[in-house]
Chains A and B, each alone.
Chain A
């Protein structure tokens, strides 16, 4: 085994070529189009879905897409919007900001998409926002929950539909400091969402008399958390607050469960996305936030569940969760806003979305929701949940323990950080 003929240079060059090929292949295809030909001469309204199909948030990206597609199918079944059918196109944004930018640019300039929808990763969402802002294209950030998305990285053309890290932290921190303990340790995914979420948690812990004893930054795509879990044990905190997402949180949950560390210290997982839960409910622990659950006893939930299941009979996840819900709600409200505006003019639609108020019934949540016109973030009911000890069926993973009114969990710091440009500085178009 000592002699070999493969040159290192050849090996590295070859591997680099393969990597480049892989990246290029993912960008150039396969692309998915749907063509719903409009009756008469009316041009269809075209939407570009910037959804991850691979990488850390590949599963969530596709769940987001399923929700958004359902909203379009429902509108098309009623004749579309403004009498025009709705077409859509999607491509894998790969949980990578650079790919997100390229896909957005292509959708706007070559595919004539008037609207972009979809994001889970805040870095990708921010990259898409930059492109959308350049062309004045309305962009719906459906599922990226970094506080910065409606703070320093807000935009006149972007609307944020998920609860953010601050909303979830506000729903949990005060009670936990008082009832569990003052010493907190933060586990933070080392990118925008993780940092901004942990910053919000830290501020809330300190303002409520608690203390952050350490903040361990976890690189994205970490699979082995043993070093962190040893450090957690050595630090002996009362509470561990995590801002870890995607495949990373799945690995963390599995390893915490293996060590049976889920009881002490107490764990608060800022937000858990349903696609990250599905498949490994046995490792679900601690208290966590969400915006929706398919077993909420509220009007419309059961009907929505049935419609969703009828559309995705062979899907990888049999019931919708918060991610698919956000995709559905965002798309539905965009199409309603176009109808109210009576036009696809971007400024007219932006104004409609800025004034958006949605009843609790329409939202399938406990409280009425509204779009904050200053930050462009949907202010909505925030739920706290934990693992369900008595599931009614094999999809009943959560026990909802409380829900907070939108105003009680509002991100107070966002308004000062968000600087929206004036309408006349936004490129105007009508498709």
Chain B
């Protein structure tokens, strides 16, 4: 029995890490800037498309960057894509943040509407530039294919993706909790007037946080692309679980989001194996149960609204 269950627990764990990766950038921007970035999904998709251009290959964009570039090994092109594409998306994210500045301090609905509009513009731009067809992002042979464990074939790429997710979670935690930059960022979220009074450029700080959040969205897009496929509306597949994870974990709570993502992954993985028709629904049921008992999510801090 346990040996039948073990693969599904392991699968749930890796899926949970992938959910966490998808939610990380979204959580950072909500938690530190109090802005819900509905363009998160489109930026996630943009990361995958930019990576596709850099990696190239058959059935994508041929040799858009020139035959010399595409003659170099796939591993190098893929690694370049993993570094360059998120930076390019972060630049786009900076543009969105500059547009958002007029909404700060106002009704959150303005920010929602703006990022919703940005999401639509980005998705249509993707359709315009790359069309509506699907693409497959090539991955180096070292992380492709499968391996046998417990008489079952496992995807090598899935464990690589989970490893990247775990590394991203660790790096974001280090940045927020263990560096002076993180301290300033947190202080800016707590009391922006005091931060300004100390001579810190808060506008630049927000620009940095937003860019970093979109950079994480793009990394998630590149990592998930070989599993989910690349298509213009792939962002919708990302923004819904990201939103669910941060509400379930408690808005503003880093570890809340990570634990919520792992819980969701476990639940989807186990339900997929033993009650398959409930696999997607199970996480929404969990959300309803948790928010009914604890409205602020698993690890959200108590707010005045709950008094």
Interface residues of B in 23-50 (CB under 8 A from A): 30-32, 34-36, 38
Q: Is there contact, CB below 8 Å, between A8 and B133?
A: no
Residues of A within 8 Å of B276, CB to CB, are 216-219, 227-228, 231
Assess whether A31 is interfacial by the CB under 8 Å rule: no
Residues of A within 8 Å of B146, CB to CB, are 258-260
Residue among A15, A228, A258, A281 with most chain B CB within 10 A = A258
A226 to B276, CA, bound (A): 12
Assess whether A178 is interfacial by the CB under 8 Å rule: no
Assess whether A18 is interfacial by the CB under 8 Å rule: yes
Of the candidates B36, B136, B227, B252, the one whose C-beta lies within 8 Å of that of A15 is B36
A226 to B12, CA, bound (A): 9
A8 to B251, CA, bound (A): 8
A190 to B303, CA, bound (A): 40
Q: Is there contact, CB below 8 Å, between A224 and B145?
A: no
Residue among A4, A7, A9, A283 with most chain B CB within 10 A = A4
Assess whether A223 is interfacial by the CB under 8 Å rule: yes
A316 to B133, CA, bound (A): 6
Interface residues of B in 149-181 (CB under 8 A from A): 151-155, 157-158, 176
Assess whether B208 is interfacial by the CB under 8 Å rule: no
CB nearest neighbor in A for B306: A8
Of the candidates B152, B227, B268, B273, the one whose C-beta lies within 8 Å of that of A255 is B227
CB nearest neighbor in A for B158: A226
Residues of B within 8 Å of A3, CB to CB, are 189-190, 252, 301
Question: Which of the candidate stretches B64-72, B82-90, B105-113, B211-219 sits at the interface with the other chain?
Answer: B105-113
Q: Is there contact, CB below 8 Å, between B34 and A227?
A: no
Q: Is there contact, CB below 8 Å, between A222 and B132?
A: no
A1-B189, A224-B268 given; A6·B108 CB < 8 A: yes
Q: Is there contact, CB below 8 Å, between A280 and B155?
A: no
Residues of A within 8 Å of B296, CB to CB, are 8
A259 to B35, CA, bound (A): 40
A317 to B134, CA, bound (A): 10
Residue among A12, A17, A62, A219 with most chain B CB within 10 A = A219
CB distance from A197 to the nearest CB of B (A): 16
Residue among B38, B108, B270 with most chain A CB within 10 A = B108
Assess whether A58 is interfacial by the CB under 8 Å rule: yes
Q: Is there contact, CB below 8 Å, between B36 and A11?
A: yes
CB nearest neighbor in A for B28: A1
A2-B301, A219-B277, A247-B229 given; A278·B112 CB < 8 A: no
Q: Is there contact, CB below 8 Å, between A227 and B132?
A: no
A224-B268, A227-B273, A227-B279 given; A260·B15 CB < 8 A: no
Residues of A within 8 Å of B78, CB to CB, are none
Q: Is there contact, CB below 8 Å, between B145 and A230?
A: no
Q: Is there contact, CB below 8 Å, between B237 and A221?
A: yes
Q: Is there contact, CB below 8 Å, between A261 and B153?
A: yes
A283 to B152, CA, bound (A): 20
Residues of A within 8 Å of B75, CB to CB, are none
A317 to B277, CA, bound (A): 33
Q: Is there contact, CB below 8 Å, between A6 and B36?
A: yes
Assess whether A22 is interfacial by the CB under 8 Å rule: yes
Q: Mark B271-306, 1 if CB is under 8 A from A, else 0.
A: 111001101110000000000000111001101010
Q: Is there contact, CB below 8 Å, between A1 and B109?
A: no
Of the candidates A5, A7, A190, A233, the one whose C-beta lies within 8 Å of that of B152 is A233
Q: Is there contact, CB below 8 Å, between B134 and A279?
A: yes
Of the candidates A11, A231, A250, A278, the one whose C-beta lies within 8 Å of that of B272 is A231
Residues of B within 8 Å of A234, CB to CB, are 4, 7, 152
A247-B229, A260-B146 given; A4·B155 CB < 8 A: no
CB distance from A252 to the nearest CB of B (A): 10
Residues of A within 8 Å of B253, CB to CB, are 1-2
Residues of A within 8 Å of B95, CB to CB, are none
Q: Is there contact, CB below 8 Å, between A227 and B36?
A: no
Q: Mark A8-31, 1 if CB is under 8 A from B, else 0.
A: 111110110110011000000000
CB nearest neighbor in A for B19: A224
Q: Is there contact, CB below 8 Å, between A15 and B243?
A: yes
CB distance from A258 to the nearest CB of B (A): 5
Q: Is there contact, CB below 8 Å, between A6 and B30?
A: yes
CB distance from B217 to the nearest CB of A (A): 17
Q: Is there contact, CB below 8 Å, between A281 and B32?
A: no
Q: Is there contact, CB below 8 Å, between B136 and A283?
A: yes
Q: Is there contact, CB below 8 Å, between B231 and A14?
A: no
Residues of A within 8 Å of B229, CB to CB, are 247, 250-251, 254, 280
Residues of B within 8 Å of A261, CB to CB, are 153
A279 to B231, CA, bound (A): 10
Residues of A within 8 Å of B231, CB to CB, are 247, 250
CB distance from A94 to the nearest CB of B (A): 11
Residue among A1, A250, A258, A281 with most chain B CB within 10 A = A1
Assess whether B80 is interfacial by the CB under 8 Å rule: no
Q: Is there contact, CB below 8 Å, between B116 and A21?
A: yes
Instruction: Add 6 more A-B contacts to A1-B254, A14-B112, A17-B109 (CB < 8 A).
Output: A2-B252, A15-B243, A17-B112, A224-B228, A254-B136, A259-B146
Which B residues are closer than 8 A to A by beta carbons? Answer: 4, 7-8, 11-12, 14-15, 18, 30-32, 34-36, 38, 58-59, 108-109, 112-113, 116, 131-136, 144-146, 151-155, 157-158, 176, 186, 189-190, 226-229, 231, 233, 237, 243, 247, 251-254, 268-273, 276-277, 279-281, 295-297, 300-301, 303, 305
The 8 A-B pairs of least Cβ separation, nearest first, read A227-B272, A279-B134, A217-B277, A4-B252, A279-B133, A219-B280, A6-B34, A316-B132
